[in-house]
Chains A and B, each alone.
Chain A
Amino acid sequence: MFELLGVPPQALFGQVLLGLINGSFYAILSLGLAVIFGLLNIINFTHGAQYMMGAFVAWMCLTYLGINYWAALLLAPLIVGATGVAIERLLLKRIAHVDHLYGLLLTFGLALIIQGLFRNAYGSSGLPYQIPAELRGGVNLGFMFLPWYRGWVVVASLIVCLATWFLIEKTKLGAYLRAATENPTLTQAFGINVPLMVTLTYGFGVALAGFAGVLAAPIYSVNPNMGADLIIVVFAVVVIGGMGSILGAIVTGFSLGLVEGLTKVFYPEASATVIFIIMVLVLLVRPAGLFGRAA
């Protein structure tokens, strides 16, 4: 077999795939954060907990109700999104008129509460969630072995990201969303119900996190801390991509997953920090992010 820069291809492509999978989660989660930040001006620190809730709802559906993975893939985002709608209506709406910092503190506190509740109920050792029967096993591509489920995660998240991009950039509903993001007062003065859009947008962003949680359940163990571990990296991804840019969130998410994977191959010592190093560099050179518009 051939080698690339002294690295066997199995190792290289294995890490590329792992990078793409991490990138899939970065992309969906940072996309949700970007959509929420765009319209609500809130940095949703609850996002990691909501991702964790997605995984737990899928696990509960299977364990208590016998609802399988595919149904949970639809159901869990709806349920988690509905809790998001409740959070927006009951809590976030009340602080919409004050400084962003309050939204950040509130959502951070909520994340701690939600994680604490799940830890109290289910412990922190993690619960197993089986890969659905249809996606067990894999295929040998010659240069690497591709497990079906991992391939599915990349494809599913790409589809969801592109569908979200299409919805926001190419449809009438998306035009309302962009208009309300850019100038909520005027958009409201045209007769558009902006407060309702704010609620639904938060619900949608949160549902995306729930969807990512279901995708993650069979790969990582279902664990109350799974979101807290991931969300710090996702915030770095959002900072690099630029807050509020839809396409930027998607592209940056996948690319940084890939960069992380490649770093594991070529300089493993830096693989845990490479994203933060890039974040620092981007902040120095382009404070608004790679795809962000300077305010």
Chain B
Amino acid sequence: MLTETAPAASHTAAAAPMLKVRGLEAWYGESHVLHGIDFDVAQGEVVTLLGRNGAGKTTTLKSIMGVIGKRKGSVVLEGAETIGLPSRAIARLGIGYVPEERGIYASLSVEENLMLPPRVRPGGLSLDEIFTLFPNIKERLKSQGTKLSGGEQQMLAIGRILRTGAHFLLLDEPTEGLAPVIIDQIGATIRKLKQQGYTIILVEQNFRFAATVADRHYVVEQGKVIDMIENDQLDANIDKLHGYLGV
């Protein structure tokens, strides 16, 4: 059942992928977490990484972003090899990162949190556009960042990277622990961003949510990509997926 898939071959886009990950390995201290991750993301795609807890999904995002102790392999973004770069240089290539724990700063106000990430490219959203997406944030600008509700913090975490002009977003479990109505709002936001041409990698535990926004799903297990499922094939592969995720 656990067939190795060649991701590039099964992907429909003819153009060179926007992100090409090959043989990516990563370590937390002594423990070897990723054992050779391979996958591609095409421009304008929304791709999810699915898998059980501890499979290596979050570590994959961290490794792309360069915020992990030790990594090896190849991560090519728009033709540029990034494996040797510090995370600040990777961010400057136009990647926006929303970490799993959302990363809202307690020592900064909501407004300071929103304005913190420097612009990395032209074409970021204006404050008004961000407030249109997330009206709640506008009401709370002077509050301490961590005084926001979980949903509002997630919106702030997404909003602040949209300001920077980053056009490639790494979203780590944006729906985790949130109420259904907030999850719907975040889903709608991701679809809107996709329409506007953003490329997104989404880490999800909840594949029902993932199915409402993504083009393709990579299944990660024990630090490797073990399968790729097109979103429109999801129903046909539902039993296989249940097996992978253990649900």
Contacts and interface: CB of A to CB of B under 8 A. Distances in A.
A191 B107 contact: no
B67 A175 contact: no
A181 interface: yes
Interface in B45-89: 65-67, 86-89
A191 B67 contact: no
A178 B107 contact: yes
- Prevailing SS type, chain B contact patch: loop
B116 A188 contact: no
Nearest to A169: B107
A106 interface: no
A183 B103 contact: yes
Given A176-B116, A179-B116, A194 B88 contact: yes
Contacts of B97: 186, 189-190
Interface residues of B, number: 25
B99 A191 contact: no
Contact of B88 (A175, A182, A191): A191
Given A179-B105, A182-B106, A194-B88, A189 B118 contact: no
A188 B88 contact: yes
Contacts of A188: 67, 86-88, 91
Nearest to A191: B91
B123 interface: no
Interface string A182-198: 11011111111110000
Contact of A190 (B107, B108, B116): B116
A172 interface: yes
A191 B105 contact: no
B92 interface: yes
Nearest to A172: B115
Contact of B65 (A176, A182, A189): A189
B115 A175 contact: yes
Interface residues of A, number: 18
A181 B118 CA distance: 17
B123 to A, nearest CB: 16
A179 B115 contact: no
Nearest to B96: A190
B107 A182 contact: yes
Nearest to B102: A186
Contacts of A192: 88, 116-118
A191 B117 contact: yes
A179 B97 CA distance: 15
Interface string B173-193: 000000000000000000000
Contacts of A190: 88, 91, 97, 116-118, 161, 164
B21 interface: no
Interface in B105-140: 105-108, 112, 115-118, 120
B108 A186 contact: no
Contacts of B117: 190-192
Residue of A172, A182, A191 ringed by the most chain B CB atoms within 10 A = A191
Given A178-B105, A178-B107, A182-B107, A189 B116 contact: no
B87 A179 contact: no
A189 B88 contact: yes
A190 B103 CA distance: 11
Given A186-B67, A189-B97, A181 B107 contact: yes
Contact of B103 (A178, A181, A186, A194): A186
Interface in A202-255: none
B36 to A, nearest CB: 24
A189 B112 CA distance: 16
Interface in A148-201: 172, 175-176, 178-179, 181-183, 185-194
Contacts of B164: 190-191
Contacts of B112: 175, 178
Given A178-B108, A179-B107, A183-B105, A193 B99 contact: no
A186 B107 CA distance: 14
A191 B86 CA distance: 9
Contacts of B161: 190
Contacts of A179: 105, 107-108, 116
The 5 closest A-B pairs by CB, nearest first: A191-B91, A190-B117, A178-B107, A189-B87, A175-B112
29 contacts: A172-B115, A175-B108, A175-B112, A175-B115, A178-B108, A178-B112, A179-B107, A179-B108, A182-B107, A182-B108, A185-B87, A186-B97, A186-B99, A187-B116, A188-B86, A189-B67, A189-B87, A189-B90, A190-B88, A190-B97, A190-B116, A190-B117, A190-B164, A191-B88, A191-B117, A191-B118, A191-B164, A192-B88, A192-B117
Given A175-B115, A191-B120, 12 more contacts: A175-B112, A179-B116, A185-B67, A186-B67, A188-B86, A190-B97, A190-B118, A191-B91, A191-B92, A191-B118, A192-B116, A192-B118
